[in-house]
Amino acid sequence: MVSEKEKMLNGDLYDAMDPQLVAERDRASELTRRYNRTAPDDDETRRRILEELFGSLGDECRVEPPFRCDYGYNVRVGENFYANFDCVVLDVCPVEIGRNCQLGPGVHVYTATHPLNAAERAAGPEYGEPVTIGDDVWVGGKAVVNPGVTIGDEAVVGSGAVVTEDVPAGVVVQGDPATVVKEIE
């Protein structure tokens, strides 16, 4: 029999109230609570907590508190990653972030989503779609990256953009929904 966690990770409909998943969210909540209470100069404790929380963590990574996520273990970041204040990652599916990436303040990355059919949605199951952010990407403040999106290498997402579709490498996108406004030379 397939567990609710396996369904979640596969992007299938699953029950988020499954006891194992509730316990794993509680674990992530406790780790982020501890992280968000660290002193600004306590790099060692911050690193240790992020190593415990994230699926993988590259060298020279910094996440400014407060930070929130669902599970943490689905978040994998490359070296030289930076997330500014108030970032949220709903990681019911994998969130892969490359090296040299920057998230501005208040960036939200969502893998979690719900059925469009109202009766199905009311019944409670949800599902997710992975998000991939390439190398050397800058996501401006208050941008939202929606489920299933891939952002190509060296792309820039303008502040406040709502990214609903894949972003090609080497472009600037902005707006709601985000659209390409220029190619980066």
| Catalytic (active site) residue 114 | yes
Reduce the secondary structure of the chain to three states and give it as a string: CCCHHHHHHHCCCECCCCHHHHHHHHHHHHHHHHHHCCCCCCHHHHHHHHHHHCCEECCCCEECCCEEECCCCCEEECCCCEECCCEEEECCCCEEECCCCEECCCCEEECEECCCCHHHHHHCCEEECCEEECCCCEECCCCEECCCCEECCCCEECCCCEECCCECCCEEEECCCCEEEEECC
Catalytic residue (choose from 38, 114, 115, 132): 114
Q: Indicate which residues carry an active-site annotation.
A: 114
